[in-house]
Amino acid sequence: MPATNVSPAQRDLSHARVFDLAELSLRELNQALHQLTPGSNETAWEVLNPKGSHSVAVGVDQPVAIDVRGSVGYYCGGMNAGGAITVHGSAGPGVGENMMSGSIVIKGDASQYAGATGRGGLLVIEGNASSRCGISMKGIDIVVHGNIGHMSAFMAQSGNLVVLGDAGDALGDSIYEA
């Protein structure tokens, strides 16, 4: 049953709050996610029509599940601190940048510097990752089902990078202790 005073783009389904970016702005989505408080019953979110939008679900700091139905642009899930974000598509540069905890799963490919400076959590890329995957890792765990590009794990300080495919040149160059 839909909640009162909620637009069709934010209708409450029994399992998820649906947020349609064709009807509402990205700023409204991120603001709604930032306004969640501990113990909120809005723990499941579905984002429709991302159409390559940048900064989708940035700064999530509550234990919520967010399903993004489509590909995203720059910095999706950046600074994630506890959310479980799944992108049913590919991700542009910087997915999971400076992630603190939680998880991000990319069902497609990821562009440059996925998981850069990540301090914790798990980033899973089911396709390939471009150059500089895991650059300057500081505790994040990254699993790439496909290949990774050059200079991945450059200056990695802590964490793990697991690659099931091939790695480009300079893997782990200037690595510290990862």
The answer to whether residue 7 scores a pLDDT higher than 60 is: no
What is the CA 178 to chain-centroid distance, rounded?
21
Burial of 11 (0-12, 13-18, 19+ CB in 10 A): middle
Query: How confident is the model over 103-137, as pLDDT tens digits?
Result: 999 999 999 999 999 999 999 999 999 999 999 99
Query: How confident is the model over 31-78, as pLDDT tens digits?
Result: 999 999 999 999 999 999 999 999 999 999 999 999 999 999 999 999
- Beta bridge partner(s), residue 44: 65
Domains of the chain: which residue ranges? Answer: 50-163
CA distance 3 to 6: 6
Max Cα–Cα distance, the chain, nearest Å: 56
The answer to whether residue 94 scores a pLDDT higher than 70 is: yes
Question: What pLDDT, on a 0 to 100 scale, did the predictor assign at position 126?
Answer: 98
Q: Which fold has domain 50-163?
A: Pectate Lyase C-like (2.160.20)
Quick one: pLDDT band at residue 14, thresholds 50, 70, 90?
low
- Closest listed residue to residue 115, CA positions, set 153, 72, 166: 153
Query: How confident is the model over 145-168, as pLDDT tens digits?
Result: 999 999 999 999 999 999 999 999
Average pLDDT over residues 96-106: 98
